[in-house]
Structure 1
């Protein structure tokens, strides 16, 4: 189904419902936006520590560039126990779920809503939880968008630093250093003040401490890259995953390290949806998306040229799914030049920028 531009620009209302889902590991607050469609998965989100679904995802899903997605996919926001607005304080002695247990709540959430599968989008702790979920329940995960993920257990040096900083810094300071890089903290005072105010005034402090402790006690995901002819029982993700990290994010070194090379990766989110589900966004809308992102100074780049070249066939498949195959083959020479200049901004002249955005399909640096 292809929508006309006039259809894309019309205002539409999204049905919103809130649910408290009982699971073996506690009650989980969920917010469903839109009506799930039988032939499509739902986008399921999970937030980071110090945040909830509103502070973590509302700005993203309210952005005009996401409206094409919102018209075609329902979104289920999951809040970790006790992290949603107005949450009651847990009783003293309450045992907060581990990261593994939190991932085990998600099949119960899917069953509650009658869902067969989801596209997971997680940030930090939420990215870790969704990865664990996809490893344990591969048939329920169609794909993953993992932002600032750290798949490794906290080392003893990190543990010691947390303990020492805990003596001298309040919980908000510890969370701020997790969410933002040093440059952002030192220069963007208004942003940091906004998040500090949110953590202090909108979050239940006791519940938040339990969630932070659970995340800091995580274990290695113990994920392996699938090798042709290798161990068929290797613990690997069966779905594609898109890794996203900011240039100044405190997680950047972890995301681009060899440890995260075990994650398969794919395209910009809207192109990713097109590739996986043959959903067609109008070319005019895609061109506006590429232009708007280029104007804001962002670009799609490759951290590993050889890895990008190894996925040329995947790029060709994605172009065929977006009905751009013939035009892409006619621009082979331009495409090859685009791959050799992965540090340059995308060309936005006409629809060629869309083709190049497809080709530059690796981790995304924001």
Structure 2
């Protein structure tokens, strides 16, 4: 069976595709998988590093308003579709999977033109523009949240598979985190991060809250600031530190292995991107979610509300975030083991750790229906 997986731009589109590819290969060794993306996206680096074949085509984001720039985008989309048609004719896939992002549009669109079965996967609680378009013509749509059928045409097959995550997220243990971060096992661990680039507003709130936390001998904070703001945050904390501080605080520019960081955490403070939500719920981690306010269609807030509604998370809107607001919520949760336990249970119930296998099963079902019958 020959499979094309398309999507990229950001890690949130690339990693689910890689997790799907791994699940497909675990199920069947004789698969031929090819990733298609752009040369400018993270997929151009991450996919070859994972050992998969990769081809780049031209693609740009869909314009939301008419403009001269939009005209150039449509020309690029036309060129990308021609490239995709030629690529598909050469590779001859049995199925094409779109993992979101604008590069999926010409690839899945070309597959539809060539009558090749397609599956579109949506990671967020609200579908992006590309997936809303492709969802009309794809053989099936896979989604990460319940009650998303309303976004697609009536009668369209919509399956709740969850959002595939890397298996190492599930396999990491607390002992590895204790060793990697030098954690004190008698303290509660607060993990703070704002995505790969960090989040300035979250960093500022942590710095503001430090003065109140400094004498908390039952708390330790692992804070991934992002590389851009690392020196600024580190210097601000160092200026406030005194010899009698009992809080354990460790600022890092970036955490290379989030699976280990998750394994050692009791409570998270983070954004609510699709991959983050999928990972923390699969691990059953309580969280204080601070949605990125400029996400398309405000999808991060909708992701966060979906988790909050189950009792697995609390939400602070970015415009309402301050040192006092963060400290009050962290203190109320971290000191209440019963509440943390209930949040962990709700998070696990919400999570879909087998999302990769769920999506792989759908891919096999639709792709194999197109294979010639064995004699």
Smaller-chain TM-score bracket: under 0.3
Query: TM-score, normalization: structure 1?
Result: 0.28
Q: Looking at CA atoms only, which structure, 1 or 2, has the larger radius of gyration?
A: 2
